[in-house]
Amino acid sequence: MRKLFSAFLSLILLAFSSQSQKVSGVVKDENGREMEKTTVSLLRAKDSSVVKLALTSTNGQFSFQSESGKYLVSVSHVGYTTQYSKIFEVAGPVELPAIQLAKASSSLQGVTVTSQKPMIEVKADKTILNVEGTINATGNDALELLRKSPGVMIDKDDNISLAGKNGVQIYVDGKPTPLSGTDLANYLKSMQSAQIEAIEIITNPSAKYEAAGNAGIINIKLKKNKSFGTNGSVNLGYVQGVYPKFNGGLALNYRNKKVNVFGNYNYNNGKNLMQFTAKKEQFDTLFDQSNKIRFKNNTHGFKGGLDYFINAKSTIGAVVSGNLANNDFTTAGPMYFIYMPTNQVSRILKATNTNDMTRNNVNTNLNYRYAVTGGTELNIDADYGFFRIRSDQFQPNYYYQPDGVTEISRVIYNMLSPTDINLFSFKTDYEQNYKGGRLGIGGKIGIVNTDNDFKRYDVYTSGKVLDTLKSNRFKYNENINALYVNYNKQMKKGFMLQFGLRAENTHSKGTSTGFKKINSNYVTYDSTFKRDYTDLFPSASVTFNKNPMNQWTISYSRRIDRPAYQDLNPFEFKLNEYTYMKGNTLLRPQYTNSFGVTNIYKYKLTTVLNYSHVKDIFAQIPDTIDKTKGFLTKKNLATQDIVALNISYPFQYKWYGFFATMNANYSHYVADFGGGTRKVDQNVFAFTYFMQNTFKFGKTWTAELSGLFLSPSVWQGVIKTGTMGNIDIGLQKTILKGKGNVKLAMSDVFKTMKWSGSSDFAGVHSTFKGHGEQQQIKLNFSYRFGSSQVKGSRQRQSGLEDERKRAENSQGMMGQ
């Protein structure tokens, strides 16, 4: 591992240079005064494509490093008319004549803006999957979209990992969700692609973001219409897999110079099938299990809000969003008990497990924003949200002789498990120009209260009786207080510095209560535990951008993953007659130190090399009870070292577009839980490859061909997995004068998205395989109506503000 780290450090020290020439100039207003923070774009003369963006300094000057060729520049500033230079040729240093801007007329005609984002955008700090305009995203839920995202891996239990690391923090609209494991997976399954604008994979978050998530942050951005006037859209979808599925939605928006009112509603109804087989060798018995899991989903998603523009600098707003879901699960299939010395079936368990669930989530937000273009910015957010999860599970277990007809015995359970989660937060972020750079400071107070009341009943023909020994109530409260400071500055010598520090103080308390039996007496127990700790999380990056056609970034960050509340509850939950799940009160947070090098060549070829050292990594460990029974629990593996490489490249030529990205990672897991079969020492190399081909036929037809390949890997530190992947195809036709779209797509054309794996730990050898309902045919219709124009000075200011931010990013692509 030392050799790997040394090789990694040597790559950081690489220098790169190429022949380029300086293009410089100055921008002044109509009175001859130099203009600061003005956006200057270097354009190719032949097609006006953007080569480089820059901002003028305090004395109005700007400069680019450019290769030889013919160019022109455009200059824009809020409240002024955009100006263009004459075409010039770069063969040596070029000093342009002063460019003067004149104030814009107050009466602006409406401008219709039409643009299409690429499916995937790769930047120094994040990868953006633009879901909204993608044909093959039609009819998918959020979990499936993540499964097909570059570098993302989802295992058989729907745990999410990124670039070989399992600590991923999921955000929705910039806010972290408190869910994890099965709860998070079911929530993402209830969120449809029609609700989603984009998915941001942020691998190098700055101090502004919460420190949770050692692999980074995945932010799911929901749609919000920004057009002026009254407008909206409708969409209808049909999906055919093993079972039919339906979805539809409506979005409405009204916006003028003072107010923006928006709202949308989406509905999804469908049924999915997953097939699963598993074999487990434990002591002298082979457990051979085969299950079919049917998941029925009925979901209502909504979002509504109001923005009021107090003046050109201040905005207040309120947003209410939610997801109301009814999820029904049915798991059916036999388990054969085989006595291994004779290879004979000793008995058969037949169980049909049903779970009727409701999962409701509502979030509210009040916000205030004060912003001066190119100057001070203040954002204040107050949030309250809740989850209400109800589970009614019926689990009958019938044991038969090897003939499968003669019943030996039966045990039947009914589990009721209501969970309430309440979230409160207050956050403020402030930014201003400081000593030639940008200073940001802020803080957050976050509170999460969780209450789970698990009751298990034994069911008899005469009724059901509460089993107090197998029932439990678990309350978990967590309070995180944070402060941060972040600073970035473009230096005159052709590089940009960014560094930040975040401090987080954590208070948590868990209380697990119930009954236990001591000498034939039932007594109450209270397993209460508390945690209090404070951590510092530094982050820094340096971007070398003297040559804009070949930019390098070196970055570092420290992050944390705290245990989920379910993983801390010491109560033993019975998953079935022979498998239990138990929490671990000794589970510690896992910490990650990451170092990265990013190169962006000619704004297209992006290469990212990252090394991470994870301390006390979480892993789900199988263990044994009473020789033949097993339980699952999470423990801290000693360490994990990961080296990850990402290479991506987009290509566009007339009617054909291509994007490819490859993620490779090497991981070394080390742990010792008592020697022998309880040791873990794994060396793992894995990679994923994603490609997207786009074909345009005329003005109204578009086709897509995309593919994903995942090599063998390791889940949870102990489960070795096999190869899987998929090919998707799609076709789109624009109709109704460009306002309507019809999309037809087919996913997993060759039925290759199937997972398999094996594990050998603590004397238990297991193998398993399975697949979901991946092959589907999807048909979708969408229609936009009303105004699609951008009018007036505020709209133009918003567009120029976006352009200014792009210029800042291009000068130094820092991790945010």
Torsion of CA 625, 626, 628, 632, to 10 degrees: -10
CB atoms within 10 A of CB 456: 21
Please give the Cα distance from 790 to 798 (Å, whole number). 10
Return the pLDDT at 798. 43
Length of the chain (residues): 816
Please give the Cα distance from 419 to 467 (Å, whole number). 19
State yes or no: pLDDT of 181 exceeds 80: no
Return the pLDDT at 246. 93
State yes or no: pLDDT of 345 exceeds 90: yes
List the beta bridge partners of residue 458.
Answer: 413, 465
Report the pLDDT averaged over residues 54-76.
82
Run of H or E residues at 517: strand 495-518
Please give the Cα distance from 364 to 745 (Å, whole number). 35
pLDDT digits (tens, 9 = 90+) for 105-115: 544 444 444 44
Between the CA of residue 595 and those of 63, 216, 666, what are the distances in Å? 31, 13, 15
Cα dihedral sign, 222-227-232-235: negative
Name the band, by pLDDT with cuts 50, 70 and 90, for residue 148.
low
State yes or no: pLDDT of 361 exceeds 90: yes
Output the six-digit token pair for 686.
């894995």
Please give the Cα distance from 418 to 169 (Å, whole number). 24
Q: What is the DSSP string of 346-357?
A: EEEEEEEEEEEE
- In this predicted model, which residue has the larger pLDDT, 184 or 563? 563
- In this predicted model, which residue has the larger pLDDT, 486 or 515? 486
**Do the beta carbons of residue 702 and residue 732 sit within 8 Å?**
yes
Report the pLDDT averaged over residues 637-644.
82
Q: What angle do CA 399, 403, 408 make, to 5 degrees?
A: 30
**DSSP tag of 660:** E
Q: What is the rounded average pLDDT for all residues in the chain?
A: 81
Highest mean pLDDT among 64-68, 154-158, 728-732: 728-732
Closest CA to 763 of 634, 677, 674, 676: 677
Name the band, by pLDDT with cuts 50, 70 and 90, for residue 763.
confident
State yes or no: pLDDT of 658 exceeds 80: yes
Please give the Cα distance from 9 to 163 (Å, whole number). 19
Q: Which of 105-119, 163-177, 268-282, 758-772 has the lowest mean pLDDT?
A: 105-119
pLDDT digits (tens, 9 = 90+) for 500-519: 999 999 999 989 888 776 77
- In this predicted model, which residue has the larger pLDDT, 224 or 389? 389
Return the pLDDT at 119. 56
State yes or no: pLDDT of 574 exceeds 70: no
Report the pLDDT averaged over residues 476-488.
94
Name the band, by pLDDT with cuts 50, 70 and 90, for residue 312.
confident
Return the pLDDT at 163. 66
Return the pLDDT at 250. 92
Residue entry with tokens 């379910």: 566
678: exposed, middle or buried (Cβ count in 10 Å: 0-12, 13-18, 19+) = middle
Residue type, 551: Q
Cα dihedral sign, 218-171-541-42: positive
| CA-based end-to-end distance of the chain | 29
Please give the Cα distance from 782 to 140 (Å, whole number). 15
Q: Which of 163-177, 209-223, 555-569, 653-667 has the lowest mean pLDDT?
A: 163-177
Please give the Cα distance from 431 to 324 (Å, whole number). 37
> Taking the model in full, what pTM does it have?
0.74
Report the pLDDT averaged over residues 636-662.
84
Run of H or E residues at 5: helix 2-12
CB atoms within 10 A of CB 620: 21
Report the pLDDT averaged over residues 219-242.
82
pLDDT digits (tens, 9 = 90+) for 675-713: 555 566 777 888 888 888 989 898 889 999 999 898 988
Return the pLDDT at 107. 44
**Do the beta carbons of residue 188 and residue 143 sit within 8 Å?**
yes
Name the band, by pLDDT with cuts 50, 70 and 90, for residue 157.
low
Please give the Cα distance from 558 to 502 (Å, whole number). 10
Which of helix, strand or coil describes residue 682?
A: strand
Return the pLDDT at 468. 87
Return the pLDDT at 216. 77
Output the six-digit token pair for 93.
């240093």
Report the pLDDT averaged over residues 95-110.
70
Return the pLDDT at 9. 44
Between the CA of residue 378 and those of 77, 381, 431, 436, 499, what are the distances in Å? 21, 10, 6, 19, 20
State yes or no: pLDDT of 302 exceeds 80: yes
Residue entry with tokens 């839980």: 673
Return the pLDDT at 777. 94
Name the band, by pLDDT with cuts 50, 70 and 90, for residue 292.
very high
Q: What is the DSSP string of 445-511?
A: EEEEEEEEEEEEEEEETTEEEE-GGG-EEEEEEEEEEEEEEEEEEEETTTEEEEEEEEEEEEEEEEE
Provide the percentage of residues in the chain whose pLDDT is more than 90.
33
Closest CA to 349 of 576, 580, 626, 622: 576
pLDDT digits (tens, 9 = 90+) for 613-629: 988 877 766 655 555 55
pLDDT digits (tens, 9 = 90+) for 124-137: 566 777 776 666 66
State yes or no: pLDDT of 273 exceeds 70: yes
- In this predicted model, which residue has the larger pLDDT, 96 or 618? 96
State yes or no: pLDDT of 797 exceeds 80: no
The strand ranges marked E within 87-183 are 88-90, 94-95, 99-101, 111-112, 120-122, 126-129, 152-154, 160-162, 168-172, 175-176
Closest CA to 40 of 814, 813, 808, 812: 808
**Do the beta carbons of residue 38 and residue 83 sit within 8 Å?**
no
